[in-house]
Amino acid sequence: MLKCESMNLFYGEVQALWDVNLEVKEGEIVALLGANAAGKSTTINAISGLEKLSSGKILFEGTEIQKKDPHEIVEMGIVQVPEGRKLFSYMTIEENLELGAYSKRARANFKQNLETVFELFPILKERRKQLAGSMSGGQQQMCAVARGLMGNPKFLMIDELSLGLAPLVVKQLFEVLTQISKRGITILLVEQNVKQSLAIANSAFVLKNGRLALSGKASEVANDPTLHQAYLGK
């Protein structure tokens, strides 16, 4: 479904990605792991079109997307749930969800998607008139994921789902992810929470200092010593 070929990306003089190759197959949950500043967020921002590659290709369903604008990429069905949730805190849950449905493909399925989202997160339905900024961290993260789903994605990228959340909430969110996956949405999960991500993922990629350090099936990656090195160094 998604194929990244030797991606190189610079922030000014600093090279953030070095020849990174990724492949995500349809229907999978793929974990993108690595320590801070390994290039995880940069990778998904490049896929979203927020950062431009200096060389390399990103193919989505066979089409090159590395030169497209972010809104064109969303229109193709790639949606990102950004790190730190980035909700519109002065707006209600409902308004946030509506804003998630900008693209044509999303508007066509608006009602259906809203139902799905409320089914996955009943609490959001209950509090849909409440300001997003007034909710707890976990509920805000649910709202962010829900807002992403309102974009009717084929491919959903989630940046730091578990960031700053209580373990119980994280567990709930991960359960919802598997449900989302069952609905046929491919997921790329950027995470610090290695154990839980690998438990639900089919395959995983590990980045280290902007380079791909390890990739393979989730179960294999979990037992590979390179994974520990990627986080803790040698």
For other proteins, the closer of residues 11 and 90 by Cβ is: 90
For other proteins, the closer of residues 91 and 200 by Cβ is: 91
- 133 belongs to the binding site for other proteins (CB under 8 A): yes
Of residues 110 through 129, those in contact with other proteins by CB under 8 A are none
* Least distance in angstroms from the C-beta of 140 to other proteins: 6
Q: Other CB atoms closer than 10 Å to residue 148's CB: what's the count?
A: 23
Nearest to 94 by CA among 81, 105, 110, 82: 110
- 162 belongs to the binding site for other proteins (CB under 8 A): no
| Binding residues with other proteins: total (CB under 8 A) | 34
How many Å apart are CA 37 and CA 147, to the nearest integer?
Answer: 26
- Cα dist. 134→28, 45, 88, 92 in Å? 34, 28, 11, 9
- 167 belongs to the binding site for other proteins (CB under 8 A): no
- 106 belongs to the binding site for other proteins (CB under 8 A): yes
Which tokens is 193 given? 């929470």
For other proteins, the closer of residues 134 and 219 by Cβ is: 134
How many Å apart are CA 81 and CA 218, to the nearest integer?
Answer: 22
Which tokens is 126 given? 């209950």
For other proteins, the closer of residues 38 and 101 by Cβ is: 101
* Least distance in angstroms from the C-beta of 70 to other proteins: 5
How many Å apart are CA 184 and CA 162, to the nearest integer?
Answer: 22
The site for other proteins (CB under 8 A) is made up of 48, 50, 69-71, 73-75, 79-80, 82, 84-91, 95, 98-100, 102-103, 106, 130-134, 140, 147, 151
